[in-house]
Amino acid sequence: MRGQASMTMYVYSTAGEPRGFLFETTVYALDGTPLGRVLGSRVHRFDGSYAGEWFHQMVVDRPTARPRSIPPVAPPPPRPPEPVSWGRRQVAEYGAYADAFDRLLATADPYQMAAE
């Protein structure tokens, strides 16, 4: 990236802490581990399971969402870690939705995958 400036797009918790970052449509942990992908307003893990909704740079559980699984895809290679950003102020509107970022970190549920 010689001669080019870039800015990291962080993924925050509903409390305002940075939890990961977005590169293209892939959500990564701050250490560069790929966790999932954003498709429209939905966020999915690479095994195809639904994780939550993309809302104001967060992965949240919205009651109006219509979760569904999609076909699995191979995860992209890891990226270099991003420096930890400062937090941002919690906004009242964000408190209406529960944080769902941890669903990207969870291991796959074999019963859920078998049922689909």
Q: What is the pLDDT of residues 59-94, one digit of tens each?
A: 999 888 888 999 999 999 999 998 877 766 565 565
Residues 10 and 85: their CA atoms lie apart, in Å, by 8
Residue 3 lies in a domain: no
Residue 4 lies in a domain: no
Residues 84 and 12: their CA atoms lie apart, in Å, by 11
pLDDT at 101 over 90: yes
For residue 113, what pLDDT is reported?
44
Residue 1 lies in a domain: no
Residue 33 lies in a domain: yes
Residue 29 lies in a domain: yes
pTM of the predicted model over 0.75: yes
- Integer angstrom CA distances of residue 110 from 4, 65, 80, 107, 114: 44, 23, 30, 9, 6
Domain tally, the chain: 1
